[in-house]
Structure 1
Amino acid sequence: MKITVVGAGNVGATLAQRLIEKNFADVALVDVVEGIPQGKALDMRQSANTLGFTHKITGSNSYDITAGSDIVVVTAGIARKPGMTRDELVGINAKILREVIEKSLAVSPHAIFVIVTNPVDTMTYLTLKVSKLPRNRVFGLSGVLDGGRLAAFIAEELNVNASDVTPCVMGEHGGSMVIYPRFTIVNGKPLSELVDEPKQKALAERTVNGGAEIVAIMKTSSAFYAPSASVAHMVNAVATDSGAMMNCAAYLESEYGLSDVVIGVPVKLGRGGIKNIVELPLNAEELAALKASAEAVRKTIAALPAQ
């Protein structure tokens, strides 16, 4: 198996490290900045003797090294800067993403695409439209990361292990994401039975602002350990054909009463990408929140530059 990671910044390079250390695939690391992917890949190769991995990792500014990839993970793009509007961010990252998809597909026509570039729901939607691939082969990072953040906060609150939590975070990977306490399970019990409503709302609010909290603390950087771990978890499910269920940004075709939009929903991942989308039995209030989140994504999709 061969996996390409496009973007050798903190998220991309850490993801490449996690993947090569799993030792189930060769890894190609690509970036537009000369020397960065080459140097980071060389550095990782020099850990093979110590860590015992036998697969190859290479770095380049050219997509030639990515040929024949089974999975392409796209982390390339810019973060929103002070004074930049959301529409400006969408326009810049859309241009980057189009180029990445076209160059990747040219040499890896059978690849599955995992999108990390923000705003991820909109960029996943754009990837589907540009690539014209079936929806099972294109999905994005959303609920795995947001759920991991929720699980960490619940673990702190209830003094349990984060691994004891099965989180449920759906909708936009952003301000309108929806946390479902009724479907978030802690040691077999719903979160809605373990904490009162004000505490549920506080946990949800902290999850929504989970990335911003890290930026506020670090000042000059954003999260990359949890995002890279989340993507590695998704890639592992595809590579091993596990069928594991997790919340990912996926294109809907009538599920939850929504169509022609990408939002975070529970899916089962395996060798072909998305095996199926899982529809939870949401009540009227829960479904209304999900549809409101989808509308927020539609507004960002509307900001995509016409081509």
Structure 2
Amino acid sequence: MRPKVTVVGAGNVGATTAQRLADAELCDVVLIDIIDGIPQGKGLDMLEACPVTGSDVQVSGTCDYADTAGSDVVVITAGLPRKAGMSRDDLLRKNYQIVSSVTRQAMEHSPDAILVVVSNPLDAMVQTALRASGLPKARVVGMAGVLDSARMRAFIAAEVNVSVDNVHAFVLGGHGDDMVPLPRYSTVAGIPLPDFMSEEAIARIVERTRKGGGEIVAYLKTGSAYYAPSAAIVEMVDAILKDKKKILPCTAYLEGEYGVDGLSLGVPVKLGRSGVEEVIEIKLTPDEQAALDRSAAAVRELTEKIGV
């Protein structure tokens, strides 16, 4: 029996994620949204593409959470998108209400699911879903670091003209301008980035990584990124469903790791069939730890505003 994944929110991120999951033949997919007709139409369109892509999965769209029952993974993309001139903080209260509501409805029908949260502001929404679901912390994880690291990898590969397969990058902290890219733990074919690139080039890439989402918003003007986010989501779902024990930078609830207690924050984790199986602690320099502390403080400010 194939695994079942529900994607909450049939906008650009949710629909593209559903399509990527179906194309990869990873699972049966249910796309759910509050706007009647949108998930049904998009789901049917994706199902009709399956004979061309050679995928035998089932894809459906719905507005009824009963149709999502028995999901192994629930991906939450629902929420208002960030628009030009809008900070992630602007999204906070509205998306808190949305994420709380959809989490409770999804859990009613899929109490054994693992939640992958994508809605922004990401770290605060992970904590919102954790509180609303009542799940153990291992089963609520946020997609942020995989995307931020992918952006950094793309920028590095372009800078030095090498394959993206040769590039690994590490980004910790909150998903926003206070994120903490770590050049010291980033490599090109195993060579540490500081030994491969100039300080000036590294600084430029670090800054562009921090502003990566905003750069796309500035171009689109009426929307935000969805191709790279959906690819990052699918990498996480793949690691979970296939029990890969893959080490990925994700938002997880910390209880003392990295000196952070009682907060969801981006860190490297081992991701498998039971969710976050381990938080991987790496040694940080005083400057790196200070940057992570600042990022954590910015996230905590948001969680305190919404009482999670």
Whether TM-score is above 0.5 comes out as yes
**2:26 is paired with a residue of what secondary structure?**
coil
**Paired residue for 2:155, among 150, 153, 156?**
153
Match of 1:263 in 2: 265
**1:38 is paired with a residue of what secondary structure?**
helix
TM-score, length-scaled by structure 1: 0.96
Deviation at 1:211, TM superposition (A): 1.2
Match of 2:293 in 1: 291
Match of 1:77 in 2: 79
**Do the aligned residues in 2 keep the contact of 1:31 with 1:60 (CA within 8 Å)?**
yes
Alpha carbons of structure 1 residues 87 and 201: separation in structure 2 relative to 1, 3 Å: closer
Match of 1:174 in 2: 176
Match of 2:211 in 1: 209
**1:302 is paired with a residue of what secondary structure?**
helix
**2:284 is paired with a residue of what secondary structure?**
coil
Q: Does 1:33 align with 2:26?
A: no
Residue type at the aligned position of 1:166: H
Deviates more, 1:81-90 or 1:39-48: 81-90
Number of paired residues?
Answer: 306
Q: Does 1:252 align with 2:229?
A: no
Match of 1:111 in 2: 113
Match of 2:202 in 1: 200
**Do the aligned residues in 2 keep the contact of 1:147 with 1:169 (CA within 8 Å)?**
yes
**1:252 is paired with a residue of what secondary structure?**
strand
**Do the aligned residues in 1 keep the contact of 2:82 with 2:223 (CA within 8 Å)?**
no
Residue type at the aligned position of 1:101: T
**Do the aligned residues in 1 keep the contact of 2:157 with 2:163 (CA within 8 Å)?**
yes
Alpha carbons of structure 1 residues 257 and 58: separation in structure 2 relative to 1, 3 Å: same
Residue type at the aligned position of 1:78: L
Deviation at 1:196, TM superposition (A): 2.4
Deviation at 1:218, TM superposition (A): 2.5
Deviates more, 1:185-194 or 1:231-240: 185-194
**Paired residue for 1:220, among 204, 222, 238?**
222
- 1:9-28 to 2 correspondences below 5 Å: 9-28=11-30
**Paired residue for 1:101, among 100, 103, 112?**
103
Alpha carbons of structure 1 residues 87 and 178: separation in structure 2 relative to 1, 3 Å: closer
Query: 1:238-280: CA deviations, max 9, x gaps?
Result: 0100011110011101111111111110001110011101001
Deviation at 1:86, TM superposition (A): 5.2
**Do the aligned residues in 1 keep the contact of 2:84 with 2:218 (CA within 8 Å)?**
no
**1:46 is paired with a residue of what secondary structure?**
helix
In the aligned structure 1, how far is the partner of 2:90 from the partner of 2:177?
18
Query: 1:185-228: CA deviations, max 9, x gaps?
Result: 11111111112222211101100111111122233332110000
In the aligned structure 2, how far is the partner of 1:290 from the partner of 1:85?
20
Deviation at 1:80, TM superposition (A): 3.4
In the aligned structure 2, how far is the partner of 1:16 from the partner of 1:79?
18
In the aligned structure 1, how far is the partner of 2:267 from the partner of 2:189?
22
Deviation at 1:133, TM superposition (A): 0.9
In the aligned structure 1, how far is the partner of 2:256 from the partner of 2:59?
40
In the aligned structure 1, how far is the partner of 2:186 from the partner of 2:85?
37
**Do the aligned residues in 2 keep the contact of 1:58 with 1:65 (CA within 8 Å)?**
no
Match of 1:279 in 2: 281
In the aligned structure 2, how far is the partner of 1:99 from the partner of 1:7?
12
Alpha carbons of structure 1 residues 23 and 259: separation in structure 2 relative to 1, 3 Å: same
Residue type at the aligned position of 1:232: V
Deviation at 1:53, TM superposition (A): 1.0
Alpha carbons of structure 1 residues 247 and 195: separation in structure 2 relative to 1, 3 Å: same
Alpha carbons of structure 1 residues 8 and 204: separation in structure 2 relative to 1, 3 Å: same
Deviation at 1:164, TM superposition (A): 1.1
Deviation at 1:15, TM superposition (A): 0.3
Query: 1:58-86: CA deviations, max 9, x gaps?
Result: 10011111000010000000023467675
**Do the aligned residues in 1 keep the contact of 2:83 with 2:223 (CA within 8 Å)?**
no
**Do the aligned residues in 1 keep the contact of 2:88 with 2:120 (CA within 8 Å)?**
no
**1:110 is paired with a residue of what secondary structure?**
coil
